[in-house]
Amino acid sequence: MLAFSIIVSAGELVGRVVGVADGDTITMLDSSNTQHKIRLSGIDAPEKRQPFGSASKKSLSDMVYGKTVTVDYKKHERYQHVVGKVMVDGVDVNLQQLQRGMVWFFKHYQNEQSSQDQLDYSRAQEIAEKRRLGLWAGKEPTPPWEFRRQGKTN
């Protein structure tokens, strides 16, 4: 079942963002014009049909679209997307999405992050929740993994 395997590798990609699919997935072109789909690690954005799905995508787009990013990654996931931390001018975009209340800290995969990132991401979500920022302004927001499990993505 290669389609569902996770390929573990580590590296860094640098390129210009040419597409934003949602609040945690981008497309970039490297210096050789090779296209890479990037899934932002440590976070999970609302699905497009969920409340704040569009706002989450816009937030990410405002930060990265047309800009040069650096992606530190450790793996490729089952859809062959690179999974990594996206940086713009030294700023952790994944963390920014959490701080803005546009995504959830995806604790299921936190063991793939550094202990400092785990702490920073957890704190960022706690603060966004307390301040009722973004999706946290809504009544009992549904995490996207539960939304998908309920089959509401179609």
Output the pLDDT for position 152: 60
- Please answer whether residues 98 and 105 qualify as being in contact, where contact means their C-beta atoms are separated by less than 8 angstroms: yes
Give CA separation, 63 vs 6, 54, 55, 99, 130, in Å. 28, 14, 13, 13, 23
- Please answer whether residues 97 and 125 qualify as being in contact, where contact means their C-beta atoms are separated by less than 8 angstroms: no
Output the pLDDT for position 9: 58
Structure token pair of residue 95: 């963390």
Q: Determine how β-strand 25-30 pairs with β-strand 68-76.
A: unpaired
Model-level pTM? 0.87
Nearest to 5 by CA among 98, 74, 55, 77: 77
Q: Which residues contact 58 (CB under 8 A, 6 or more apart)?
A: none
All structural domains of the chain, each given as residue ranges with its CATH number in brackets, are: 8-149 (2.40.50.90)
Nearest to 64 by CA among 39, 35, 89, 98: 89
CA 58, CA 80: separation in Å to the nearest integer? 24
Output the pLDDT for position 60: 98
- Torsion angle, alpha carbons of 27, 29, 35, 36, to 10: -50
Structure token pair of residue 145: 């993994």
Q: What is the pLDDT along the chain (154 residues), one digit of tens a residue?
A: 333 334 445 789 999 999 999 999 999 999 999 999 999 999 999 998 898 999 999 999 999 999 999 999 988 777 778 999 999 999 999 999 999 999 999 887 777 788 999 999 999 999 999 999 999 998 889 998 899 888 765 4
